[in-house]
Amino acid sequence: MKYLKIVRIPNLAIIVLTQYLLRICIIGTYFGFSGVGPAMSDFNFFLLVLSTVLIAAGGYVINDIFDVEIDKINKPDKVLINESIPLSVANRLYYGLTITGTLIGFYLAFAVQYFLLGLVFVATVLLLWLYSSKYQKTVLWGNIFISGLSAMVVIIVWLFELYALRADILTYTEVMKQIRIVSIIVAAYGLFAFLVSMIREITKDIEDMDGDRSAAYKTLPIIIGVNKAKLLFNMLIIVSVLLLAFAMYHLYLKGIMLVFWYLLVAVQTLFLFVLYNAFKAKNKEDFHFLSNACKIIMVAGILSMQLFYVSF
**pLDDT (0 to 100) of residue 124:** 96
- Within the chain, which residues score under 70 in pLDDT? 1-5, 77, 169-170
User: From CA 233, how far away is CA 239, in angstroms rounded?
Assistant: 10
Q: How far apart are the first and last CA of the chain?
A: 41
Phi and psi at residue 77, to the nearest 5°? -80, -5
Answer yes or no: are the C-beta atoms of 23 and 38 closer than 8 Å.
Answer: yes
**pLDDT (0 to 100) of residue 4:** 64
Those residues whose C-beta lies under 8 Å from the C-beta of residue 143, and which sit 6 or more positions away, are 198, 201, 202, 205, 220
pLDDT tens sequence across 230-275: 999 999 999 999 999 999 999 999 999 999 999 999 999 999 999 9
In Å, what is the CA distance from 67 to each residue of 70, 99, 101, 211? Answer: 5, 22, 23, 10
Answer yes or no: are the C-beta atoms of 154 and 22 closer than 8 Å.
Answer: yes
Those residues whose C-beta lies under 8 Å from the C-beta of residue 142, and which sit 6 or more positions away, are 131, 135, 136, 201, 219
Which run of H or of E encompasses 299? helix 284-303
pLDDT tens sequence across 50-86: 999 999 999 999 988 888 777 777 777 677 787 778 8
**pLDDT (0 to 100) of residue 282:** 87
**pLDDT (0 to 100) of residue 36:** 87
* Helix 226-254 vs helix 176-207: crossing angle, to nearest 10: 160
**pLDDT (0 to 100) of residue 1:** 56
Amino acid at 79: V
Residue among 155, 130, 128, 162 nearest 8 (CA): 128
Answer yes or no: are the C-beta atoms of 167 and 113 closer than 8 Å.
Answer: yes
**pLDDT (0 to 100) of residue 21:** 97
User: From CA 65, how far away is CA 82, in angstroms rounded?
Assistant: 9
- How would you label 185-217 residue by residue, b for 16+ Cβ within 10 Å and e otherwise? bbebbbbbbbbbbbbbbbbbbbbbbebbeeeeb
**pLDDT (0 to 100) of residue 87:** 84
